[in-house]
Structure 1
Amino acid sequence: MSRMRIDQSIETPWGISVFGAASIDAAPDVARLRVAIKETRQQAGEAFEVTRRAVNQVREVVRGHGVPDRHVSTSRLNLESSYVYGAERKFVGYECTASFVIELRTLDALEAVLVDVVEAGANEVGGVEFDVRTKKELRAEARRAAVAAAREKAALYAEAAGVRLGGVVHIKDVDSEQLQNSYRSHGRSAAGDGEGDLTPGRITVTAGVVIGFSIVGDVET
């Protein structure tokens, strides 16, 4: 006889426990472009200077597209020795790096901004992340829908079991990121359909909850 898995057993019966989930799709209205400048020179000062100039050029290009400075975050210039490895380690110069996250509120400008910042000196593109500014409100809506789904499920179980559903005795939030990954694994994307794709696609905002209801007795026949 096979043994029941522990997670399938109910050690302390107390009522009906159900899981409810909901997702809401929305059109993105924000794009975050991640780019970097990486320059290697034989002299540390030269590497620092050429990277600093490229940083200023990228900032000017972004301002030219009407993006305010507060929507552009820039890392500090990072300088380190660079080597190649073969039969022996060989010093190739000093590598200076600066990275940007550029937030765009006008998605139609995304391709033009990307082209211009690359021409200005950004030689690494980390990717584009799409988002929606009303995510907090959408999450609240999804949570209400998740509670409704859980209550509907609990009512169905109670009816099928011939018992009356009581009040809520337990509520547990389910991590939304874990749920988001689950939706993605089933073919639903929150930021486009492919890596490097500049098509916004749809944003999926999810919520999940585990709710426990008491049982107040059998249904009278």
Structure 2
Amino acid sequence: MGTNVTVSLKALLLAGLVVIALAVAYLVGDSRGTPAEAASGGGETGSSAKRSVTVGGTGEVTAVPDQLGFSLEVRIIRPDLQDSLDESGAAMDRVLAELADHGVTEKDVRTTGLSTEPIYDRSRNAPTTLRGYRVVQRAQVLVPKLEDGGAAIAAAVRSGGTAVRVDGIALSVADPEALLAEAREAAVDEARAKAEEYAAAGGQELGEVLTLREVSPTYAGEESWSEASLSRSYASDMALPIQAGEQELAVQVEVVWRLAD
């Protein structure tokens, strides 16, 4: 008789566990909804489900550069470190004085680096000897008016002589914001046109904008000149010829629209 009671209690316990497991499974399934409901946005069903379309758009405008920038470097090697520092500083001062005559002010020059390095003479049959110290000063220069750019570069090379290096010449637009506003409007218009096509293809109408994200605007139009062309300008005492050309400014956007029935 005792054995029968024990078996009955086990059976009741197992039955209770099964009932609890079924109840939990039902509740979990009900809270998640069907796979289709989850994909349509938050468990809504039927025509009330939130649907959206995500599209990208690009807007481009053309601008004429009106200013010029370049990297300036002064290199001096002398036997004494202090002499190298003094002469490199004097050479940089001469260059900046020349640039000032071409519309470059103090706020248009930004120091970007200063380095010192010992220079050694090495020979297979002789001990290594210290020849001197190299000092390099670097600056970024902006010429506010493009028409002064060629003469400013030539003057910088002439005043510094062989100690001066100029590179990284780039043309740019001083105030691109008005042009970028046009590009943004064009980008959103293009995205809207695409979204309306997709909505019409699905038999729906375009609703309100849910999110709008702008990718960083891009600029094109950097120009560079070789050291040989700078040397010719220096030797002939003529301004380096600069052609403005055109520059493309572009904005990309990603827009999410709600789709309405």
Within 5 Å, which residues of 2 pair with 1:148-187? 148-177=189-218
User: What TM-score do you get using the length of structure 2 for normalisation?
Assistant: 0.66
* Cα displacement (A) at 1:92: 4.0
- Residue 127 of structure 1 and its aligned partner are, at CA, apart by 2.0
| TM-superposition CA deviations, 1:77-133 (whole Å, max 9, x none) | 432323578879764421111122221122222222111111111521122111112
Q: Is contact 1:48–1:77 with CA below 8 Å preserved after alignment?
A: no
Q: Distance in 2 between matches of 1:169 and 1:206?
A: 23
The alignment yields a C-alpha RMSD, in angstroms, of 2.5
Unmatched runs of 5 consecutive residues or more in structure 2: 1-37, 41-50, 227-241
Which letter maps to 1:98?
A: Q
Secondary structure at the aligned position of 1:65 is classed as coil
Tell me the TM-score normalised to structure 1 length: 0.77
CA distance in 2, matches of 1:84, 1:147: 63
The correspondence of residues 51-130 of structure 1 with structure 2, limited to 5 A, is 51-75=88-112, 77-83=114-120, 91-121=130-160, 123-130=164-171
- The structure with more radius of gyration: 2
Q: Do the aligned residues in 2 keep the contact of 1:191 with 1:201 (CA within 8 Å)?
A: no
CA distance in 2, matches of 1:49, 1:22: 51
Q: In the alignment, what sits opposite 1:190?
A: 221
* Larger fraction in helix: 2
Equivalent pairs, count: 195
Q: Which has the higher contact order (CA 8 A, sep 6+)?
A: 1
Residues 85/110 of structure 1: CA separation in 2 closer, same or farther (3 Å cut): farther
Tell me the SS of whatever aligns to 2:185: helix
CA shift digits 1:5-45 (9 cap, x unpaired): xxxxxx94531110011111100111012111011112101
1:210 aligned partner: 254
Flag the 1:172–1:157 CA change in 2: closer, same or farther, 3 A: same
- For the 8 Å contact 1:32–1:129, the answer to whether it is kept is yes
Specify every segment of 5 or more residues in structure 1 that has no aligned partner in the other structure, as ranges.
1-10, 181-188
Identity of aligned residues (%): 25
Tell me, yes or no, if the aligned pair for 2:170 and 2:221 is still in contact at 8 Å.
no
Report the 3-state secondary structure (helix = DSSP H, G, I; strand = E; otherwise coil) of the residue aligned with 2:243.
Answer: coil
